[in-house]
Amino acid sequence: MSSDSDNVRDLEAELDRPEAGEHGVPVDAMCTCCKCVTVKRASIDEPDPDFVPSFRHVCRRCKCVTWWNVIAVLRGLIDAEEDGDEP
Ligand SMILES: [Zn+2]
């Protein structure tokens, strides 16, 4: 019996990593340099965050700041923690 368990990603665990960043909207992003895909927090201030195509962030594999292309916005990952966070 085959299993897809190796391909299942723990998005919340990736978001908890320090290199994901501390502020911003969780996004699934691909490093334009090494092509790795991981969850990052993108500092998105646009009215329509779903439309932001790329942002700059550090890549642990590249060991430098590089450009990341947003694949998907993962707002669901922080919906719970942002509830009641408004002043
Ligand atoms: Zn990279």
Domain count, the chain: 1
Q: Residue 75: what pLDDT?
A: 81
| Residue 52 domain boundaries | 9-79
The rounded Å distance from CA 59 to ligand 1 centre is: 5
Q: Percentage of the chain surpassing pLDDT 70?
A: 72
Question: Nearest Cα to 9, choosing from 22, 24, 28?
Answer: 28
DSSP code of residue 30:
E
In this prediction, residue 46 has a pLDDT band, given cuts at 50, 70 and 90, of: low
Predicted TM-score of the model (pTM): 0.72
The rounded Å distance from CA 47 to ligand 1 centre is: 28
Quick: pLDDT tens for 60-77.
999 999 999 999 888 888
Q: Is residue 59 part of a domain?
A: yes
The rounded Å distance from CA 40 to ligand 1 centre is: 12
Q: Is residue 3 part of a domain?
A: no
Q: Is residue 1 part of a domain?
A: no
Q: Is residue 63 part of a domain?
A: yes
Q: Is the dihedral of CA 48, 10, 78, 20 positive or negative?
A: negative
